[in-house]
Structures are given as C-alpha cells and as structure tokens.
Amino acid sequence: MVPFRPSRRSLLAAASLLPVSLGGGSAIAAESDFNGFLAGVRRDAMAQGIRPATIDVALRYIQFLPRVIELDRKQPERKLTFSEYLAKTVTPQRLDDARRQAAENWPLLQRVQQRFGVQPRFVVALWCVESDFGRIMGNYSVPAALATLAYEGRRGPMFRAELISALKILDQGHIRADNMVGSWAGAMGQCQFMPTTFLSYAVDFDGDGRRDIWNDRQDVLGSIANYVSRLGWRGNEGWGREVVVPPNIDSRYAGLDSGRRSVREWSQFGIRPASGAAFSGREPDASLVLPDGAGGTGLLVYDNFRAIMKWNKSTYFAAAVGYIADSIDRA
C-alpha cells in the first residue's frame, strides 16, 4: 500500500510550519518528504515484527496535522499561579463528581486496591485530573499526531518511538486504528497514557484479552493503579498536606531535593497544618514544597507525592491529585 498522501491544501497550510530543510517550504517537497518519512516508519515497524496489514490500516489514518505543530510550539503567555491552577482543576463540580465516582465504583476500586495496593481515592483522583473521568480524552488520531511530531523533528526520536509503540498496540488488537484517539501530543484514553507507557503499564483487568483504556472502566482503573504502584506508591500513606509557613523560613529547606524531615522538626521551624489541627506525630518524614516560591502556599509532602510527580513532573498536578483524594476521604 502506498503511504497516505496529505492533501495539497493541508500541505500548503503546513508549509510555514515545516523545517527549513523542506526545500523552501515547497508543498511538493513537503509531500514527498512526509511520504518518505512514513516509508521509513513502515520499514522500522516491520523490522520490529509488526504485521504489514496493521501498518497498512494505520497509514490510512495518518496525515500531517499542522494544528499539532502549532500546539507543540505555542507557549502560554503566562504561567498560572498555584491558586489559579487549583481553581481551574479542583472545582466544586469535580469534587462532587469524584465522590460520586468513588461511591459508584467502590467494589471495583476495592478489587483494584487488593491487587495493586493503591487506595481508591487516589485512583479516582488521578482519573479525575487526567481526563475528567473520561470526558476529556482528546479527539486527535494518535498515529497521525505522533507521525506529525516525529516528522517535525524537534523531539523526533522520542515521538518516532511513540509512533512505533502505537503501531504495536494496534497490532496486538487492543484498539482499532480509527478509534485510537487522544491528545494532540499522543496521550491516550481515560488514563492519558503515551503508547510506551501503555505497553509497560496498562492492564487487562477484566481478562477479556484487550487492554482498553478508552472504554473499559475496569482496565482504566486497574491501569491507573498499576502505573502509580510501579512508580513507588506506598499504600499505607497519604500524599501530604497544606501547611502554614513562616515568612522568614530559609528557602534552602524547601524543595524535594532538600531532604526529608520529621514533622517534629518542621514544627520547630514554625510550620503548622493549615487546617488548624496539630500534627499527630505519626506522619511520615516529609519535604517542604512551595509551588509558587516563598510567601505562597506551603505543602509538606511524603513519598507518594514523589510517585505522582514521576507520573507528571508538576507540583501543581501532584497537589491537585492530593486535594481531590482528600475530598473523597472526607466524603
């Protein structure tokens, strides 16, 4: 099968976004080069044992997507503050939905916990932040988005590896090519797993022979728990808590790289729980995180916070998961 040929209109729209090496932005050169790139992907995929028929079907859904390059290169005008991020992510509606989802899926969540050792409230919180319980999964063709990003070249090797992994997922029969949709960057399903993450951590929790993180709730929740468990989760601990931090505290004490201290030590620095309650003294050793720097919100966080940050390297993301999980715990 001849690789999918992008329309002339798409290529012309993309010309200004393609690398200079495309011969001055020529649409004909762009078409030729993209087809040449896909031919190389086909060879690589076959060398890794992916069936030609799978590749042929996938190529039908691959075209260059100028919008993906635009989104990849677009820089936000300004970064949200921690409070702005929480207001956007940890909304009253989401908290209500999280408590409802926990209640409705409780038997399943208990089975997931028994197998992977992750508390239900954290599985639900990750599900919430990643896809709003499957409501926001993206509508881009994952093979097309990954091919576009791999061809564009800024992070070409990484996205080429993700594209080959996506073809492996198709070849294993977990999803059809026309249903493999996700974000513009290739994150897929209700867990928003990249293809390489899927191959390593997605599970067939219901035993039907497929790992379906798009439509199968058992596979979704099981895969979330398996992934975070493999990242070093401690099933008998929480994530941390918000604290009041004295304005004169030495900034050298803050940060995940600054070591862990007991809550007794942190208390001696004048740090106390924002809730007004005292530390119990049974808390794990913790690190101080200041998401917006000195003078902003303070968090004392445990090793589970670090596990969440291996999932997504953002203190904002990890804290949002913790806040939502806490709201479920209090329900």
Average pLDDT, the chain: 90
What pLDDT was estimated at residue 161?
97
Residue 181, beta-bridge partner list: 141
Query: What pLDDT, on the 0 to 100 scale, is given for residue 18?
Result: 37
Cβ(203)–Cβ(237) below 8 Å: no
d(CA 121, CA 109): 9
Of the candidates 99, 124, 4, the residue with the CA atom closest to the CA atom of residue 61:
4
Cα pseudo-dihedral 259, 262, 265, 270, rounded to 10: 90
Helix axes 303-311, 217-230, angle to 10 degrees: 120
Strand 287-289, strand 272-273: pairing: unpaired
Tens of pLDDT, residue by residue over 311-321, are 999 999 999 99
pLDDT at 163 over 80: yes
Which tens digit of pLDDT belongs to each residue from 228-244?
Answer: 999 999 999 999 999 99
Comparing 146 with 23, the larger pLDDT belongs to: 146
Domains (range + CATH), the chain: 8-74+138-188 (1.10.8.350), 240-301 (no CATH)
User: Which pLDDT score is estimated for 248?
Assistant: 86
Confidence of residue 295 (pLDDT cuts 50, 70, 90): confident
Confidence (pLDDT) at 13: 36
Report pLDDT digits (tens) over 26-35: 444 455 699 9
CB atoms within 10 A of CB 177: 22
Residue 330, burial from CB neighbour count under 10 angstroms (0-12, 13-18, 19+): exposed
Q: Cβ contacts of residue 15 below 8 Å, gap of 6+? A: 22, 25, 26, 27, 30
What pTM was computed for the model?
0.89
* Residue-level pLDDT at 24: 38
Report the distance separating Cα 224 and Cα 122, nearest Å.
Answer: 9
Nearest to 304 by CA among 223, 226, 225, 234: 234
CA distance linking residue 76 with residue 299, whole number of Å: 26
